[in-house]
Chains A and B, each alone.
Chain A
Amino acid sequence: MIKYVIKRILIAIPVLIGITILDYAIMSLAGSPLEMMLGPKTTQAALEAKAIRLGLDKPIYVQYFVWLKNVLKGNLGYSIKSYQPVSQIIREHLGPTLLLMGSSLILGLLIAIPLGIYSAVHRYTKRDYALVTASFLGSSIPSFFLSLIFIYLFNVKLGWLPSGGMITAGGDGGTADLIRHMIMPVLVLAVSIAGSNIRYVRSAVLEILQKDYIRTAKSKGIGRFLTINKHALRNALIPIVTVIGMHIPILFGGAVIIEQIFSWPGLGLITMNAILGRDYPVIMGVALLTAVVVLASNLITDIVYALIDPTIKYR
């Protein structure tokens, strides 16, 4: 198993490099950040000077190697816009994104898994149809639409919850305050996650319920509760872990739209701005982070598979 993990890590390195090359190439297709800075106050000469200073006058592949060399030294560069170190920008915004997305994922799954099982066990009944319909709604409603409804309801009309931000400006902070700010964005995201996953869990469990070993469990008279929640669920873990594994990269990308609407200071927000402003270092920093996270979460998912499914053996 160790050998397998090492092998995967070794393969990941050229993959990462390939990804960053692609990212850099695509990014530079959009155009130079200098164009964004052109304005009434800046002269051509000043721009050219800036270009030389930032190294943007060199050809793209040279820029890439310079970037790569710096990364290998641990330096992610500086934002063209704010001159702040990219690593600091990411660090400051990563936490809020993780908090938001992590909570949504957990809440979403806490809803989806039991409901999905319930739906599968009671398939083709009215309850089942109701749940499936609800899940379609949950995954189809545009998140911005739902956000606006929530804001209108809970902030404008009822005044219960703050309309944005992470903490109350000028307030004492504290967990309760944080939670009040989190409720709406987390709910919106959780609804969407639960929506798509209820059906996925349902179909995974349905497939397992057809299996012969469920019939064997039933024939032993251990009762329906154990049959479903021990025998079926344990096997359903495998597809569920798949789903979680797929969601983790999304976790990091952040929900750009939600973060915009709720002014949540997360990665999604700054990535969006960086892209619009063609802030190369920030873009590449986030791209690199995303790539690492995707590769790592794939590997971790595979390792978890081997732990929960005894029929899998990696060599």
Chain B
Amino acid sequence: MNDIINREPLIVVEGLKKYYPVKGHVLKKNKPVIHAVDGVDLEVFEGETLGIVGESGCGKSTIGRQIVALERPTSGRVLYRGEDISHMDPNRLRKVRTALQMVFQDSTSSLNPRKQIYDILAAPMLYHGIVKKENLDEEIDRLLNLVGLSKNMKYRYPHEFSGGQRQRIGIAKALSVKPKVIVCDEPVSALDVSVQAQILNLLKELQEELKLTYIFIAHGLGAVRYISDRIAIMYLGRIVEIADTEELFDNPVHPYTKALFDASPLPEPKLRDRQRIVLKGEIPSAVSPPKGCRFHTRCPYAIESCTLDDPVLLSVKPGSSHKAACPVLLAKGESHD
């Protein structure tokens, strides 16, 4: 666990909405859109790891892209150190970008296969003027060492490395411009189990050593729990629950959170017949999300009002930072299960 350095949030996400037009439709009124992110507010504090968890279509990767300003939101904004980066002019944004970096899931496609590792790492550093040409060699060696790779590898090409090693290179690339914040978008999902642990541990060490702030996006709860200080659970473009990690696991409130926990693979065969929520049905379309609470179509606790009212995130207990968007279960107070 890391000490949170100060309570002023480093990143603030306000009313973030991002809609994508459905492919193939001529732009006209009432064109169908994919409501990838549909109203999200977040704060990320310096030095912490915020985990964002959800299944396909929940919008977690989209949020990641808005935070590193890879895309502009449809409405709402992202503030970095108080400055609005969603509507920043390109020149200023270029300077701010070095502070916000991303590590991608598929390092195979995010590393240029025709470039040597040396060039892949050198390019951003030279572009942003992070390092002088004379010191380039030294810096690259240092970076490779930092992520646990040997400096002899710098003249090799990406395809000569294993998946885990490529992921390390991706991390080195993100680190090369000396960022303050790294958004990790499913960084271990494509890796073998034994390698996942290596990368997770590496990320943890780097965070401590370099005082980094992480936003860790994943669909696997186990990995997220291991690395995150706080976790936000997303469903169909909204945050349905957010809390400190241990509080979330001790005390999940939202039915979707509970269903996610229940569905999480548990390497204990004796518990295979335990009581669990098995959600019915499919994840609804992000083009026309269900009315009222988006989750009500699959929720085992849904009542009539759930089909009408769109719930907001409310504190579980007065003053608590644990919030959930489920009036039904919040009302039940402590006695829920």
Binding site for B on A (CB under 8 A): 313-315
Contacts and interface: CB of A to CB of B under 8 A. Distances in A.
A313 B23 CA distance: 10
Contacts of B25: 315
B233 to A, nearest CB: 33
Nearest to A315: B24
A315 B25 CA distance: 7
Chain A, interface SS category: loop
B193 interface: no
Contacts of A314: 24
Interface of B: 24-26
Contacts of A315: 24-26
A314 B25 CA distance: 9
Contacts of B26: 315
5 contacts: A313-B24, A314-B24, A315-B24, A315-B25, A315-B26
Contacts of A313: 24
A201 B25 CA distance: 34
B20 to A, nearest CB: 16
B63 to A, nearest CB: 29
A315 B26 CA distance: 8
Nearest to A3: B26
User: 3 nearest interchain CB pairs?
Assistant: A315-B24, A315-B25, A313-B24
A145 to B, nearest CB: 44
A314 B26 CA distance: 11
A315 B22 CA distance: 11
A313 B22 CA distance: 13
Contacts of B24: 313-315
A218 B190 CA distance: 29
A263 to B, nearest CB: 51
A313 B24 CA distance: 8
Nearest to B26: A315
Nearest to B22: A315
Nearest to B25: A315
A98 B24 CA distance: 37
Nearest to B24: A315
A315 B31 CA distance: 12
A308 to B, nearest CB: 19
A314 B24 CA distance: 7
Nearest to A7: B26
B289 to A, nearest CB: 22
A298 to B, nearest CB: 19
A175 to B, nearest CB: 49
B29 to A, nearest CB: 15
A255 B24 CA distance: 40
B122 to A, nearest CB: 38
B114 to A, nearest CB: 24
A146 B25 CA distance: 52
A313 B26 CA distance: 13
A230 B242 CA distance: 52
A208 B24 CA distance: 27
B148 to A, nearest CB: 36
A122 to B, nearest CB: 32
